[in-house]
Amino acid sequence: NAGVTQTPKFQVLKTGQSMTLQCAQDMNHNSMYWYRQDPGMGLRLIYYSASEGTTDKGEVPNGYNVSRLNKREFSLRLESAAPSQTSVYFCASRGAGSDTEAFFGQGTRLTVV
Amino acid sequence: GENVEQHPSTLSVQEGDSAVIKCTYSDSASNYFPWYKQELGKGPQLIIDIRSNVGEKKDQRIAVTLNKTAKHFSLHITETQPEDSAVYFCAAITGGFKTIFGAGTRLFVKA
């Protein structure tokens, strides 16, 4: 009954360091998403993957890359972290159809110093 | 690009009162409008949704209305309880994949 699992839950990086946020879902969903959440700005879409093998940019893709490793896993990579990337990151997945709910992970709180 | 505006950003009500949160979307092709509740330290969870061919939907104390002509949709919570305190997000989905969220409303229910 795991749903969407994100790792790590917390991370502190120095400016310029790189890291990968991992996300896995066990609901056999086709589409997966990465959002960042900042105070007063809601959830902003970074990248999404409509199906295995495809990825597309969202509203705020600069500074990030993604990989849809297989149907279950969708990772987000920061190549050279900047303080502006300090945020809470959420992964989500949705099943087939245009009117299905998104299931979210617990979030990763990232601080870049 | 597409956007969703949500108001108010903060809402404080007395226990037992009603709370209303309003959203406006820009993309007339949007066809699915979910509402999410986010409690502290957790990811958002769906509480109710409405599809573009429906004007109103109710689930116990929660209801959502949609006005496609005006591109407005609203969340109504009646008989609020302290456990309703959370951040609420509206969203609009276009083309089946892209979900655009509002900025969120922090609801405080005072006992």
pLDDT truncated to tens, each residue of chain B (111 aa)?
Answer: 678 999 999 999 999 999 999 999 999 989 899 999 999 989 999 999 999 888 999 999 999 999 999 999 999 999 999 999 999 999 998 876 778 899 999 999 999
Name the token pair of B8.
């108010």
* B32 interfacial to chain A (CB closer than 8 Å): yes
- Is A106 near chain B, with CB under 8 Å? yes
| pLDDT score recorded for residue A1 | 63
pLDDT, position A62:
97
Q: Do A41 and B102 touch (CB under 8 A)?
A: no
| For range A30-37, the mean pLDDT | 94
What per-residue confidence (pLDDT) applies to B1?
Answer: 67
Q: Give percent of chain A above pLDDT 70.
A: 99
Contact list, B36 vs chain A (CB under 8 Å): 102
On the question of pLDDT at A36 being above 90, the answer is yes
Half-sphere exposure of residue B6, counting CA atoms within 13 Å on the CB side?
A: 28
**Which residues 52-81 of B are in CB contact (within 8 Å) with A?**
none
Cα angle for residues A93, A48, A6 (degrees, 5° grid): 50
Query: Whole-angstrom Cα distance, residue B80 to residue A96?
Result: 34
Tokens of B29: 């092709």
Cβ(B30)–Cβ(B96) below 8 Å:
no
DSSP chain A: ---EEEE-SEEEE-TT--EEEEEEESS--SEEEEEEEETTTEEEEEEEESSTT--EE-S--TTEEEEE-SSSBEEEEESS--GGG-EEEEEEEE-SSTT--EEE---EEEEE-
Contact A106 B42 (CB under 8 A): yes
Cα A2 from Cα B15, distance rounded (Å)? 34
Residue A30: CB atoms within 10 A of its CB come to 18
Q: What is the mean pLDDT of residues A38-63?
A: 91
pLDDT at B48: 96
Chain A residues 8-47 with a CB less than 8 Å from chain B: 31, 33, 35, 40-45
- Look at residue A2 and tell me whether its pLDDT is greater than 80: no
- Residues of chain B found within 8 Å of residue A107, distances taken between Cβ atoms: 41-43
A15 against A39, higher pLDDT: A15
Residue B98, pLDDT score: 75
